[in-house]
Structure 1
Amino acid sequence: MREVGVPHPRLPLPEPGQRDEPQAFHTWLAEAIPMVEHLGIREMRWEGESLVWELALEPNLNDKGTGFGGALTAQTTLLGWCWVTLWLRERGYARDVVVAEASQRFLAPVTGDYRLTCSAQSEQGPATLVERLASRGRGRISLVQQLWCGDTPCLEAHGDYAVLPAG
């Protein structure tokens, strides 16, 4: 059971240059952030430089029988946090990451199980983050998250995530 004000222990870093095993990270994430086990995440995986979640709609239903906007917003924000955290871990950084700014645009109702994807908003984003971490000890990156029901885009979100200084 988590306690208010007590940080959850960090997951040990993977071997240098290796990615976390997504299922092990998902298990840790559900312990660190209790609401995760209620989000309907069925699978977490990398596809190239995009982090992908497969989700069930049922735990995220609204009163109309479609996806609840608040749940979808929380998922896009958390997916971005996971992208940055996993990306940093692969490079040997154990850092705190926070969302600095987020916005969503709802395009269509979510009417079935769905897929969320997250990637850097620009190709230069990751390189710029590495440069800022080296020169300033902290940095920021802009990400884009997209929600798909089959081939239908239902939501697009943008988030800026801050990587805090070590310490």
Structure 2
Amino acid sequence: MRQTGIAHPPLPLPPNAQSENLEAFHRWLSEAIPLVPSLGIKRMRWQGEVLNWDLALSANLNDKGTGFGGGLAAQTTLIGWCWVTLWLRAQGRQQDVVVADAGQRFLAPVRGDYRLVCRPRDAAASQRLDTMLAEKGRGRIALLQELYCGDTLCLQAQGDYVVLPSTTVEA
């Protein structure tokens, strides 16, 4: 059982960028954030600079039998946090990530299982983040999240995520 005020131990970095085990990451995430097992995440895929999740609607129903907006908002925020965390891990970095700003626009009801897609807002965003981290040890990136039910775009979201300076103390 997690204790408030006590950080969860980080997941060890993979030996190289191509060896990230997303199933192990999902298990760690489910321990680190107690809400995660309730979100209905069935599968994660990391493809280039795009993170995809397949999700079950049954875990996120509202009183009308469609997707609960608050839960969908939480999922879009979390997938952005995961995008930054996985991107950092691929760079061999283990730093804390926080959401600084987030917003959603609901376009259509979610009536079945769905997928979330997360990527940088623009093509140069990850390069700018890499430069900020190299120069300052911290940085910020803007991400977009889209939720699709079949081919229907049901939700567009965006978030700004901050990578905090490393707190590693040298002996």
- TM-score (normalised: structure 1): 0.98
| Runs of 4+ with deviation above 6 angstroms | none
- Structure 1 residues 22 and 92 mapped into 2: Cα distance closer, same or farther (>3 Å)? same
Pair 1:154–1:50, CA change in 2 (3 A): same
Unaligned runs of 5+ residues in structure 1 are: none
Q: Deviations over 1:76-104 (max 9, x none)?
A: 00000000000000111100000000010
Matched position secondary structure for 1:34: coil
Give 3-state SS (helix, strand or coil) of 2:35's partner: helix
Cα root mean square deviation, aligned: 0.7
Do residues 90 (structure 1) and 81 (structure 2) align?
Answer: no
Aligned-partner Cα distance in 2 for 1:94–1:64: 41
Q: In 1, distance between residues paired with 2:14 and 2:79? A: 19
What's the offset of the Cα at 1:17?
2.8
Q: Which residue of 1 aligns with 2:69?
A: 69
Number of equivalent positions = 167
Give 3-state SS (helix, strand or coil) of 2:132's partner: helix
Checking the alignment, whether the CA contact within 8 Å between 1:104 and 1:156 is kept in structure 2 is yes
| 1:122 aligned partner | 122
Q: 2:104 — aligned with what? A: 104
CA deviation after TM superposition for structure 1 residue 19, in Å: 4.3
**Cα distance in 1 between the residues matched to 2:125 and 2:143:** 8
Aligned identity (percent) is 62
Query: C-alpha separation between the residues in 1 aligned to 2:71 and 2:32?
Result: 18
Partner of 1:140: 140
TM-score using structure 2 length: 0.96
Structure 2, unaligned runs of 5 or more: none
